[in-house]
Amino acid sequence: MGSRQNGGASDRAALGNGGAPPVVDKEVDFANYFCTYAFLYHQKEMLSDRVRMNAYYDSIFRNKHHFNGKTVLDVGTGSGILAIWSAQAGAKKVYAVEATKMSEHARALVKSNNVENVVEVIEGSMEDVVLPEKVDVIISEWMGYLLLRESMFDSVICARDRWLKPNGVMYPSHARIWFAPIRSGLVERKENDLEEVMDDWYNFVEDTKDTYGVDMGVLTQPFSAEQRRYYLQTSLWQNLHPNQIIGTAAIIKEIDCLTATVNDISEVRSNFSSSITMENTSLCGFGGWFDVHFRGRKDNPAQQEIELTTAPSKDAGTHWGQQVCTKPELLVQGGKLFPLFID
């Protein structure tokens, strides 16, 4: 469950070739990404995510009509748990595709759970695998951080276009990305980190000049710009608490998994507005998260729609957490924003 097939669509995909889908460099992807998902410790982390597990379990077993007697394709099967659940829900055949050696563990689990007569584990890239038939259902846990970062949705799209029947369903069927203004001490901490890094750089320049007779000072400006991007302009993984949200959340991207293309997700741009609802607080930046829905399709809907959300939670939340994008801190008073400092 959740082994990425071809790395990050949002990180890799680029428009070009006359609008044709981007070319995937599988060798680079394998070296940079697949290897992580070949280890059981990483599978355990995902399998221990109760929000994730419960959503997929409920979506299958509360909508057995989509699986009973049907043919299913599990893209990036990982441990094989989605394939096993599909078989337990009555599927007549499940093709469980996995790009890494985790496929060997998946086969062992399939056999030990007595569904080897239904589930066929196939090791290989989804783009290269050839199935003997088209399928009624494509199920996959393809979501990465902030939905698209290091996700494998491009492989799911490939599988859909090649192997899903015209009236087939996608699990999940829809997805959304959200952003909301947040408060946090993160900006101050990251600025302190940046200051320490720059102090170390100045000591390095001085030591190199004194010891080796070479003045590295000309590189101070590009080094500073590089480190500012890293510490202040790069999104960060966080587990936000709901009381850190200080304004209304806005949807910045909606995806219909039945119709989305690789070009639709290669770059995400959005104009959105948010109202600050908490006064006398500081705006650190924006927190982002996603949710996915299991709705079936209009002409073949789910009997019970299930949502999986990674929004800030009072409880443990999910292993995805949230992504935080910082900006210069602002003081919120009376519904207005006042800068505390200006570069």
Check if 188 is active-site: no
- Concatenate the DSSP letters of all residues of 103-168 into one string: HHHHHHHHHHTT-TTTEEEEES-TTT---SS-EEEEE----BBTBTBT--HHHHHHHHHHHEEEEE
Q: Exposed e or buried b for every residue in 42-63, given b needs 16+ CB within 10 A?
A: bbeebbebebbbebbbebbeeb
For the 9-181+240-339 domain, the top CATH level (class) is alpha beta
Which one of 141, 195, 254, 305 is the catalytic residue? Answer: 141
The reported pTM is 0.84
* Helix 102-112, helix 81-88: angle, nearest 10: 30
DSSP assignment, residue 174? E
Instruction: Write out the residue limits of the CATH 3.40.50.150 domain(s) in the chain.
Output: 9-181+240-339
pLDDT value of position 47 = 82
| One-letter amino acid of 324 | V
Check if 27 is active-site: no
pLDDT value of position 13 = 32
- SS3 string of 278-317? CCCEEEEEEEEEEEEEEEEECCEEEEEEEEEECCCCCCCC
291 neighbors 203 (Cβ within 8 angstroms): no
Query: 3-state DSSP: the chain helix, strand, coil percent, rounded to 5?
Result: 35, 30, 35
* Residue matched to tokens 């302190």: 192
pLDDT value of position 186 = 81
Which one of 45, 123, 133, 150 is the catalytic residue? Answer: 150
| One-letter amino acid of 57 | Y
- Spatial neighbors of 18 by CB under 8 A, at least 6 apart, are none
pLDDT value of position 1 = 61
pLDDT, averaged in runs of 10, over the chain (343 residues): 43 35 49 62 82 96 98 96 98 96 94 97 95 98 91 94 97 97 86 95 97 97 94 86 94 96 89 86 88 96 97 89 76 53 36
